């Protein structure tokens, strides 16, 4: 990675995220075509279109880097370098015209020495096109929102914390998460269910939230936001679970992390 043009890669990711964000803004209130609808999720034609747009822009800048995305892969997803993309994180919100969704783009490199992950995130970009807020981070550097350095909150007590929690789509995940939800609700100031994992992570990084917890989350939901959170001084714990690039995770300001039970 010594001679890798990391600033060029960051610029390419920002450009791609903003291009997809412009499409999202234009189509927020438009009628949307669903490719798939399940009990707790919606897959839109626009998800595919936005990922193709991101793929074209990233490929133009780095033609040899593969892409792993929510809407499929381009190239070898296990190559040394790979982009990890969620073209619309918060699709259900977006499908219903709720302006709380984002574009998430991470660049990862193989980490052969790690026993817990095959790749490590070195660039994270999350863009909220409805608030025009752009979060960026490069491994080892500060986290920024619209160019301004950000930090996690300084709350040390759970009773002072605003916590975001997400429920995975399967019934089994929900049944495991509900008891934890009740345990948590009695101990924190407020619980919020926002609907975009990438924005929940960046909100913790910015100090708007103190904690974000979810099980059954996908890699493309958390790859970029997780790095941004860590670069902002937070703690990002995750563990692989059964399923294709699935994890359970706890993200926090670090100060309350040991007071949180990990959801089983």
Model confidence over 26-59: pLDDT tens digits? 999 988 787 766 655 667 788 999 999 999 999 9
Spatial distance between the Cα atoms of 12 and 21, rounded to a whole number of angstroms: 14
Taking the C-alpha atoms of residue 134 and residue 224, their distance in angstroms, rounded to an integer, is 12
Residue with tokens 């669903």: 34
> What is the secondary structure of 233-250 as a DSSP string?
T-EEEEEEETTTTEEEEE
pLDDT in tens, 157-187: 999 999 999 876 667 767 777 888 888 999 9
Is residue 103 within 8 Å of 21, Cβ to Cβ? Answer: yes
CATH 3.30.540.10 region(s) of the chain? 6-149
Tokens 């296990």 found at:
78
| pTM tops 0.95, yes or no | no
Where in the sequence of the chain do the CATH 3.40.190.80 domains occur? 158-259
Q: Does domain 158-259 have CATH number 3.40.190.80?
A: yes
Span 186-245, pLDDT tens digits: 999 999 999 999 999 999 999 999 999 998 899 999 999 999 999 999 999 998 887 888
Q: Decide if domain 6-149 falls under CATH 3.90.25.10.
A: no
* Burial class for 170, CB neighbours closer than 10 Å (0-12, 13-18, 19+): middle
């Amino acid at each position: 990675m010594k001679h890798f043009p990391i600033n060029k890669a960051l610029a390419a990711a920002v450009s791609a995220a903003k291009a997809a964000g412009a499409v999202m803004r234009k189509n927020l209130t438009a009628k949307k075509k669903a490719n798939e609808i399940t009990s707790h999720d919606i897959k839109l034609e626009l998800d595919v279109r936005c990922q193709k747009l991101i793929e074209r822009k990233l490929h133009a800048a780095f033609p040899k880097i593969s892409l792993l995305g929510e809407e499929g892969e381009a190239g070898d997803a296990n190559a040394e370098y790979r982009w990890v993309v969620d073209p619309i994180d918060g699709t259900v919100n977006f499908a219903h015209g709720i302006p709380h969704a984002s574009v998430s783009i991470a660049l990862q490199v193989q980490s052969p020495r790690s026993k817990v992950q095959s790749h490590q995130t070195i660039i994270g970009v999350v863009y909220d096109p409805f608030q025009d807020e752009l979060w960026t981070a490069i491994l080892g550097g500060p986290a920024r929102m619209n160019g301004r350095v950000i930090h996690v909150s300084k709350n040390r007590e759970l009773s002072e914390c605003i916590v975001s929690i997400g429920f995975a789509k399967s019934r089994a995940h929900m049944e495991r998460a509900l008891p934890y939800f009740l345990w948590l609700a009695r101990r924190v100031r407020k619980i919020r269910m926002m609907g975009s994992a990438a924005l929940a992570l960046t909100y913790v990084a910015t100090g708007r939230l103190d904690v974000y917890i979810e099980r059954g989350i996908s890699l493309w939901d958390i790859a970029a936001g997780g790095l941004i959170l860590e670069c902002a001084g937070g703690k990002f714990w995750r563990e692989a679970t059964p399923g294709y690039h699935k994890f359970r995770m706890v993200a926090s300001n670090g100060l309350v992390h040991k007071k949180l039970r990990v959801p089983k």
